[in-house]
């Protein structure tokens, strides 16, 4: 029982910040960039591990921040300077960096080390809860929880204090840069937080499944809410619910939990699309479908 609770809490500690970051990613159509960053931090993690010889979070975070920025910079550079289309630039950047990371593990990290490809790719929630922090006989939580909690707090502060700015950054960045809001800073902040999240969560859910936690709760929430604050709130709730369901079902049929959480999220998303009050379309489709229609109706 205690393990189950610990497992839910660990999963939630990954899912909550992911679902909050996801709201910004999905509504800004940056899902691909989110995907890219969560993969591209791999070489950063490996190099940090090789240099420091430990899996302590300090060097790892530094590695992630560097590769996260490198990814953002490379995508931007290819797009603007070399005028490569955006999806190709993203595709190149993250596969290249990710592959470099995989090679680095194969070449240097060795079979007996803490870091193997399996762990990085798929993560392992079940083993990650064994990494517990016990001080003076008291269990304070798993390492993942204690690492992701500060990130979640920082993220919440960033969202709350920057709320107006985030709204403009997503909805109408031209207006933002026009009135003199540092929209670029918002972009970089999101990318930095995303890189840190990717590093702190890869042990529990792996770099592939973390994308599901970024995208799905947010995409679901967007089907139902008409304000940004509610979207954040719904998204976090969906993240938490999926973690609880994932752990319960996983225990029941004895199956790996992190893919299950993503599957549950996927199903919730599908149901939400069917039930959505808006059936979100793009504005152009909407207006092409009924030009001026509402004008007369109202």
The residues binding other proteins (CB under 8 A) are: 27, 29, 83, 161-162, 164-165, 167-168, 170-172, 174-175, 177-181, 222, 225-228, 230-231, 278, 280-284, 286-287, 291-295, 298
CB of 288 to other proteins, least distance (A): 9
CB contact burial 238-270 (16+ within 10 A = b; e otherwise): bbbbbbbbbbeebeeeeeebbbbbbbbbbebbe
- Nearer to other proteins among residue 56 and residue 285 (C-beta): 285
- Nearer to other proteins among residue 136 and residue 292 (C-beta): 292
Nearest to 197 by CA among 68, 24, 26: 68
- Nearer to other proteins among residue 22 and residue 63 (C-beta): 22
CB of 151 to other proteins, least distance (A): 21
CB of 1 to other proteins, least distance (A): 39
- Nearer to other proteins among residue 83 and residue 112 (C-beta): 83
- Nearer to other proteins among residue 26 and residue 74 (C-beta): 26
- Nearer to other proteins among residue 106 and residue 153 (C-beta): 153
CB of 281 to other proteins, least distance (A): 8
CB of 219 to other proteins, least distance (A): 11
CB of 176 to other proteins, least distance (A): 9
- Nearer to other proteins among residue 108 and residue 161 (C-beta): 161
The Cα–Cα gap between 150 and 173 comes to: 29
- Nearer to other proteins among residue 179 and residue 253 (C-beta): 179
The Cα–Cα gap between 112 and 154 comes to: 35
DSSP β-bridge partners for residue 135: 138
Q: How many CB atoms lie within 10 A of CB 106?
A: 13
CB of 141 to other proteins, least distance (A): 32
CB of 57 to other proteins, least distance (A): 29
């Amino acid at each position: 029982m205690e393990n189950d609770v610990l497992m839910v809490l660990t999963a939630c500690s990954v899912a909550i910040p992911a679902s909050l970051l996801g709201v910004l990613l999905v509504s800004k159509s940056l899902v691909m960039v989110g995907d890219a960053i969560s993969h591209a931090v791999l070489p950063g993690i490996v190099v940090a591990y090789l240099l420091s010889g430990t899996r302590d979070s300090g060097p790892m975070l530094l590695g992630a921040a560097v590769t996260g920025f490198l990814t953002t910079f490379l995508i931007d550079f290819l797009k603007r300077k070399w005028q490569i289309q955006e999806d190709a630039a993203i595709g190149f950047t993250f596969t290249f960096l990710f592959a470099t990371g995989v090679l680095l593990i194969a070449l240097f990290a060795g079979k007996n080390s803490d870091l193997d490809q399996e762990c990085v790719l798929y993560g392992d929630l079940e083993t990650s809860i064994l990494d517990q922090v016990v001080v003076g006989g008291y269990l304070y939580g798993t390492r993942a929880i204690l690492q992701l909690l500060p990130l979640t707090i920082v993220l919440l502060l960033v969202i709350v204090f920057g709320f107006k700015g985030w709204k403009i950054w997503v909805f109408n960045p031209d207006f933002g840069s026009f009135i003199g809001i540092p929209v670029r800073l918002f972009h970089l902040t999101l990318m930095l937080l995303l890189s840190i999240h990717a590093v702190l969560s890869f042990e529990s859910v792996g770099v592939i499944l973390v994308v599901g936690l970024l995208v799905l709760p947010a995409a679901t929430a967007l089907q139902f809410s008409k304000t940004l604050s509610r979207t954040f709130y719904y998204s976090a709730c969906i993240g938490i619910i999926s973690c609880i369901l994932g752990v319960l079902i996983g225990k029941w049929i004895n199956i790996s939990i992190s893919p299950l959480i993503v599957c549950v999220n996927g199903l919730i998303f599908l149901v939400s699309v069917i039930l959505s009050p808006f059936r979100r379309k793009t504005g152009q489709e909407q207006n092409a479908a009924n030009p001026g229609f509402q004008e007369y109706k109202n």
